[in-house]
Structure 1
Amino acid sequence: MEITVLSTGGTIASTGSDDGKTPTKAGEELIEAVPGLGDLASFTVERVASVSGFDVTWDRAGGLRRAAERAADTSDGIVVTHGTDTMAESAYLLDLTTELDVPVAFTGAQRPFDEVGTDGPPNLLAAVRTVTHERVDSGTYLVFDDEVHAARDVVKSHTSALSTFRSPARGPVGEFTPAGLRLFREPRSYSASAPTVDEVTAEIPVLTSGLGVSGETLRRVVDLDDGPAADGVVVAGTGLGNTTGSLCDAIADAREAGVPVVIASRCHEGATAPLYGGDGGGTTLDGLGVLWAGDLPAWKARIKLAVALAAGDDGVDGSFFERGLREPGR
């Protein structure tokens, strides 16, 4: 099998001392660090970037998408090595904006390349085993600590633990055991099909509601003489998706200014729902024309809103954005 490895940097490729760890290792070196990996497939390596996960930009994500589209024409599968900080976002963005005929597995490490006990080699091995598995022929996944997660569902849950990635709503697609890959559900894309977009780039701040939070920050974003400074806003609300009364008033101003607002939840599990009335209640917010994130966390709702904005009217009218939110996994 022909596998393309797209390297972007991250902890898996990082070395260093007291000055801090930075990505220094090429994709070829990552492959060489895994004994027997060459027995599973033939590899082509492309260096897309060499940055830490916390510094992935829209432009770099776009470059990764274009590289994946090129690789899909000549490969049986694609592995992306990536920093863990934004890996779940990059995987979701790629899954939303491409319809590749080959599987893609994102992976990385929590411990740097030059640390004893680095988890990079076993994670890379599991990613290659995923995209070469006979049951996995499409879709985008995040493979980490012997678990295979759907790009739509996965989140980073711990700052340093090796088992940092979880899929709170539905659990992983599968896991590796001594007997091989054990699948819990059908390996495929669980993201809504996006309208065709060329470039995704948007200024979308994420604000959080909580005790005593006012709407002043949001007003400063949308009440500018030159027009709104944001293309859209995501608000991580409390509970089912509620805000303080002051923040609700600012959301009303944002909607009047034509700024799309998505309401997500601060909770780690569960979906948004407009249940409560009154100032800041979900029913009140719903009446303002907000979009609902469903069970997507705020940072992934931000990705989906950016794709919707890039698609123009076909995306922001709700038909694309709300697809796959009110009916999880569709």
Structure 2
Amino acid sequence: MSTVHVVGCGGTIASEPAEDGAAPAKAGEELVEAVPAVADHASLRVTDVGSRPGFDMDFGVVAAAADAVRTAAADGADGVVVTQGTDTLADTAYALDVACDVSVPVVVTGSQRRFDEPGSDAPANLLTAVRAAVDDRFAPGAHVAFDDELHAARDAVKTHTNALDTFQSPGKGPVAMFTRATTRIHRDPARAASDLSLPAEALDPDRDAGDYAVVPVVHSGTGVDGSALERLLPDADGVVVEGTGLGNATGPLGDAVADALESVPVVVSSRCHAGPTEAVYGTAGGGVTLRDHGVAYAGDLSTAKARVKLVLALTAGLSRESAAATFE
């Protein structure tokens, strides 16, 4: 029988109710024991690396998860499942996708409802994740398993605060769907798979969480000027600008970007939910002008994932030019 290693980080899936609000309290072993059906698909081993709500994750916990994934793969696991909170689940999945080079499936899952809540999605999501983790069609690369679907890490986005089908891949769709008896492939897993582009040093378990690169996000929109970027710049190692449309900014923000590029790399994403960034328009904040200033474009990466990638690239010691080149 296949062996799957479960790496627990906390989240709603591990939470219990309390007078002052629900919080992670269950160990990974308890999650596995609560879903007996997983034993029909794999022999399970468990490691806990954190007990954080999804909204309070840091790169230290993500690095610990990456280390556990690498160790499990080296020890012969056929696949790895990482459980954590949904708020930043897609961030973790993408970090593992770009900086955790293993040859087995890595599947990240969680739940919108606790195990004790009526209609909990926790058991089904954990079972789906284990089923995906023993399927070598989903290696290499990281995926998100949720609501009977499997999404490529680079595409998965949490789209709803409460809905059980919250994870979607806008403009792409899921890689696979899991029924009771079968796995239906919707997209070629090899084409949707790993965006591996960063050295393992990007997620070093010995690095303190406070030692990761500082990359703030500045949003463009109606009436936005360059003042926020100017205030953030002294403490920043890099910047992500969430542009409008194809990746454009207001004129004043575009001017501030030009100044920022003298000291840090700037990556431009789009606030749209689907589609790539592209240099089409002129004027001070248009994409052609920003490109000529030297920004890197995020392509179809979400703003959150563009930030994750830039943080890890700079933390790994890549130069400004090399970090920007990982987006090409």
CA distance in 2, matches of 1:26, 1:319: 39
Distance change in 2, residues 1:30/1:265 (3 Å)? same
1:278 pairs with 2:283 = yes
Unmatched segments (≥5 aa) in structure 1: 223-227, 324-330
Specify the alignment match of 2:246 in structure 1.
Answer: 240
Map 1:66-81 → 2, pairs under 5 A: 66-74=67-75, 75-81=77-83
Q: Is the 8 A contact 1:174 1:181 kept in 2?
A: yes
Task: Tell me the SS of whatever aligns to 1:236.
Answer: strand
CA distance in 1, matches of 2:316, 2:219: 26
Distance change in 2, residues 1:315/1:177 (3 Å)? farther
1:317 pairs with 2:322 = yes
CA distance in 2, matches of 1:29, 1:268: 36
User: How many equivalent pairs are there?
Assistant: 317
CA drift of 1:134 comes to 5.3
CA distance in 2, matches of 1:42, 1:88: 26
CA distance in 1, matches of 2:28, 2:318: 40
Q: Pick from 143, 146, 158 the counterpart of residue 144 of structure 1.
A: 146
CA distance in 2, matches of 1:46, 1:318: 32
1:240-262, Cα deviation, whole Å (9 max, x unpaired): 11111111111111012x21111
Map 1:227-306 → 2, pairs under 5 A: 228-256=234-262, 258-306=263-311
1:192 pairs with 2:195 = yes
Q: Is the 8 A contact 1:81 1:107 kept in 2?
A: yes
Task: Tell me the SS of whatever aligns to 1:212.
Answer: coil
CA drift of 1:28 comes to 1.2
Task: Tell me the SS of whatever aligns to 2:138.
Answer: coil
Map 1:56-67 → 2, pairs under 5 A: 56-67=57-68
Specify the alignment match of 2:106 in structure 1.
Answer: 104
Q: Percent identity?
A: 50
TM-score, normalising length: structure 2 = 0.92
Distance change in 2, residues 1:197/1:175 (3 Å)? same
CA distance in 1, matches of 2:62, 2:83: 13
Q: Is the 8 A contact 1:315 1:321 kept in 2?
A: no
Task: Tell me the SS of whatever aligns to 1:36.
Answer: helix
Q: Is the 8 A contact 1:104 1:140 kept in 2?
A: yes
1:44-93, Cα deviation, whole Å (9 max, x unpaired): 11011000011111111111111111011121111111110011010000
Specify the alignment match of 2:52 in structure 1.
Answer: 51
1:142-170, Cα deviation, whole Å (9 max, x unpaired): 00000001111111100110000011132
CA distance in 2, matches of 1:5, 1:253: 46
Question: Which moved further from structure 2: 209-218 or 193-202?
Answer: 193-202
Structure 1 residue ranges, 4+ long, deviating more than 6 angstroms after superposition = none
Q: Is the 8 A contact 1:242 1:281 kept in 2?
A: yes
Task: Tell me the SS of whatever aligns to 1:91.
Answer: helix
CA drift of 1:310 comes to 2.9
Q: 2:297 is matched by which residue type in structure 1?
A: W
Q: 1:263 is matched by which residue type in structure 2?
A: V
Task: Tell me the SS of whatever aligns to 2:255.
Answer: helix
CA distance in 2, matches of 1:135, 1:218: 43
Q: Pick from 160, 166, 169 the counterpart of residue 168 of structure 2.
A: 166
Task: Tell me the SS of whatever aligns to 1:85.
Answer: helix
Distance change in 2, residues 1:106/1:124 (3 Å)? same
Q: 1:159 is matched by which residue type in structure 2?
A: T
Distance change in 2, residues 1:129/1:197 (3 Å)? closer
Specify the alignment match of 1:132 in structure 2.
Answer: 134
Unmatched segments (≥5 aa) in structure 2: 204-211
Task: Tell me the SS of whatever aligns to 1:116.
Answer: coil
Question: Which moved further from structure 2: 112-121 or 35-44?
Answer: 35-44
CA distance in 2, matches of 1:306, 1:217: 19
Q: Which has the higher helix share?
A: 2
CA-based RMSD of the aligned residues comes to 1.6
Distance change in 2, residues 1:283/1:197 (3 Å)? same
Specify the alignment match of 1:119 in structure 2.
Answer: 121
CA distance in 2, matches of 1:139, 1:197: 14
Q: Is the 8 A contact 1:103 1:139 kept in 2?
A: yes
TM-score, normalising length: structure 1 = 0.92
CA distance in 1, matches of 2:25, 2:7: 15
Q: Is the 8 A contact 1:109 1:123 kept in 2?
A: yes
CA drift of 1:187 comes to 2.4
Q: Pick from 295, 307, 313 the counterpart of residue 308 of structure 1.
A: 313
